[in-house]
Structure 1
Amino acid sequence: FGVVSGSADNTLRLWDTSGAGAEGAAVRCLEGHTNAVHAACALSPSTLVTASSDETLKVWDVESGSCRATMWGHRGPVTCVAALPGGGRRFVSGSEDGDLRV
């Protein structure tokens, strides 16, 4: 995939941007959040993390499209997520509750 997008329809879509045309094709739609998906980041070529208004983060297996884990802890919509330097599985998330969590 080339681009990842989160949506107000509670999904994450993976897009193929390798074609010659300006329009990409959604190659996978990941479902599991119960509210809008605001942000996503790649932890590795096969693992994504998403942040949602449902106050959770989800870890996804890109190949299978399955959710590996759901993380709770924020007390408001989770609006951002970023991988921490050094590779691995660590990331930081931010929420409308004012907290950052690692």
Structure 2
Amino acid sequence: MSVDVILPCLDEAEALPWVLGRLPQGFRAIVVDNGSADGSADIASSLGAVVVAEPRRGFGAACAPADFPHGSSPFRHGEFKVDYETRARFSHG
């Protein structure tokens, strides 16, 4: 089983390497860039994340981008410290 993790992002270039580097195997990062001016989208892409641009400003728009299929993917704000190993245990039953 794989898990898509949606990461709304606005100017998170400094946090992205830390967050993306801690995703366990089987987790796919989808970074929804909300108009970053600090190169966040390029950094996320270079680290293997799928990057979706969302021009509508705001956390809600970034959590549900217009061109991304809606589903039950979990998401976190890019600067929050997340224990993905614990999340993996919950995700896999």
TM range (shorter): under 0.3
Between 1 and 2, higher relative CO (CA 8 Å, sep ≥ 6) is seen in: 2
When Rg is computed on C-alpha atoms for both structures, the one with the higher figure is 1
User: What TM-score do you get using the length of structure 1 for normalisation?
Assistant: 0.26
Name the structure where strand makes up a greater proportion of residues: 1
Name the structure where helix makes up a greater proportion of residues: 2
User: What TM-score do you get using the length of structure 2 for normalisation?
Assistant: 0.28
